[in-house]
Amino acid sequence: MLDENLRSFDLYNPSDEHKMLRASVREFVVAEIEPQALEFDRKEQFNLPLFRKLGQLGLLGISAPEAFGGSNMDALACVIVHEEISWSDPGFALAYLAHAMLCVNNFARNASDDLKTRLLPKLCSGEWVGAMAMSEPHVGTDVLGMKSTAKLVGDHYVINGRKMWITNGTLDENKTPADVCMVYAKTGEKKGRPLISTFMVEKSHPGYSVGQKIKDKNGMRASNTAEIVFNDCKVPRANLVGAEGDSMLHMMKNLEIERVTLAAMSLGIAKRSMQVMNKYARDREAFGQPLAAFGQIQKYIGESYAEYQAARAYVYDTARKMDLDKGGQRLDTDGVKIVASTMAKNVADRAIQVLGGYGYVGEYVVERLWRDAKLLEIGGGTLEAHQKNITNDLGKNPGVLF
């Protein structure tokens, strides 16, 4: 017999804390994020004052330890926040993700206590905005092919190289760099493989600058994307994160929470698109009937709902199992990103189709969501990279299929 507890278990809000978090973020989204979303997309601008308010809600250091100003929450909580914000403004959510997941979460788990004491409280409060720089102009998927180097000279590292596509890489049109950027660079080679190290580069460090703000992106226009330049950039030895040459493991581990929160963003996009198309299909009439009466429209709505529910269950089930300290969820974090990103793009696309001409303009929201959704098939790993990882992982561990 099925246990009543199991039947009433809420996969999406497994604890009261998760439920309260969702309610408070949703309230903030409706009151503060939604009213500015279209405007900042159109202006291609990052809303920095609004971003800083996330610090007051405890969201900027959501998974960082309380001792350093964080909220010490789990992966499922991170998924809730990304899903809720992306219901309204995926571009703004991407800037949040770059700060809270790519920079703060990784830093909080791998840096020395001294460095954390100095930097984390500012990152958690919103006084500082963080970024993470892995990709380069010539290297994305093939990340180990990075060309940026760091060399120890006395008590400083000297970093040279260029990083590309960095979210929060600039804070504004004046090429103001992120207050701190977590940068991956090569510090040597062992048996023909590069040794990668990680550095916290601060705005005050000489030789750290913004090359260009990337303009005219298809979507995610409410987040800034930039090329960053390191020109004999001098970084104190104390700003090395973890041991020299030892970053591969934490880089791979942090990609797991990146993928699952990007998948969560897809859920927010799909949910909003579903709501818009469902309502419109009932309000709008053609040939004397609501659109919802037509079989072809029902196919759009029905398939979207089923695909959204399937993706949502997979994302939350994966997040539920994640341990942010240990990692070890590469297979399913790749899996959720494949399923959820393409699902969101398709659902937003169908929503535009159901709305006809109205779907094609900003006021009805779904055209923006559709543009934002496409990035989720590219950023944080392309679909092809996820396919490759899954195939490799299943080759090494076929037992997971039984």
Residues that bind ligand FAD (CB under 6 A): 98, 102, 132-135, 140-141, 165-167, 217, 220, 225, 375, 378-382, 384-385, 388
Residue whose CB is less far from ligand FAD, 99 or 272: 99
Shortest CB 374 distance to ligand FAD, Å: 9
CB 179 within 8 Å of CB 51: no
Shortest CB 165 distance to ligand FAD, Å: 3
Q: CA angle, 344 as apex, 88 and 63 as ends, to 5°?
A: 60
For residue 17, the 8-state DSSP code is H
In 3-state terms, what secondary structure has residue 156? strand
Beta bridge mates, 285: 290
258 given a catalytic annotation: yes
Rounded to an integer, what distance in angstroms lies between the CA atom of residue 354 and that of residue 250? 44
Catalytic residue among 202, 258, 367, 377: 258
Residue whose CB is less far from ligand FAD, 157 or 165: 165
Q: What are phi and psi of 44, to 5 degrees?
A: 55, 50
| β-pair type (149-153, 156-167) | antiparallel
Shortest CB 154 distance to ligand FAD, Å: 29
Shortest CB 139 distance to ligand FAD, Å: 6
Q: Helix and strand tally (H, E) in the chain? A: 13, 10
Residue whose CB is less far from ligand FAD, 217 or 234: 217
Residue whose CB is less far from ligand FAD, 81 or 276: 81
> Beta strands of 224-337 (E only): which ranges?
225-236, 240-241, 285-286, 289-290
Minimal CB distance to ligand FAD: which residue? 140
| CA R_g for the chain | 21
Residue whose CB is less far from ligand FAD, 184 or 364: 184
Shortest CB 234 distance to ligand FAD, Å: 22
In 3-state terms, what secondary structure has residue 353? helix
Question: Which residues participate in catalysis according to the annotation?
Answer: 258
